[in-house]
Structure 1
Amino acid sequence: MDASEFQFKFGIVKPSLDSSELVFHCQMGRRRAVATEKARGLGFKNSCNYAGGHKEWSDKGESVSK
């Protein structure tokens, strides 16, 4: 998909293939691993996972604010 179509569809600028800011997360971790591998297969070599996922991050946020 070209850059203008990507921006229209997703509302953000399409990341470059060498972007270091392409990070995936999900609630438990399985989907983020699949998404990261798909992105790498498309040429986004620096894509990565947020370790722990959304649930872990959310739990930390609750314990920090208490």
Structure 2
Amino acid sequence: IKELSTKPDPERILIDVREPTEFTSGHIPRALNLPITSSPDFLFLPPAEFADRFGMPKPQETQELVFYCKAGVRSKAAAEMARRAGYGRVGEYKGSWVDWVGKGGERA
């Protein structure tokens, strides 16, 4: 996770699935915010609708998606959803934000 937060890699995307208010109060650097609670269908959207809703291109199925949330519950659900949507390279940061902050991780 530390590597993802410091070195951009177009093949690996760090995704914060917390709500926007949680995200703006602090997040892991370089993470994208795709909230699973208010937008549970985000990976099932057509690319144009995804871009309209989130202001960024939809992740490609060949990219690795790494999810985190506050404590790991929502990130687990997002990872399962990604697999159902056809993404083969899916990871979770099980400790999520609580672990990141607890270990002194940089905040954006």
1:13 aligns with 2:57: yes
With normalisation by structure 1, the TM-score equals 0.80
Shift >3 Å, 4+ stretches = none
Larger Rg computed on CA atoms: 1
Structure 1 counterpart SS, 2:104: helix
With normalisation by structure 2, the TM-score equals 0.52
Higher strand fraction (1 or 2):
2
CA distance in structure 1 between the partners assigned to 2:94 and 2:72 by the alignment: 8
Q: Which residue of 1 aligns with 2:79?
A: 36
- Structure 2 gap ranges (5+): 1-44
Offset of residue 51 of structure 1: 3.2
Aligned residue-pair number: 62
Higher helix fraction (1 or 2):
1
Identity of aligned residues (%): 35
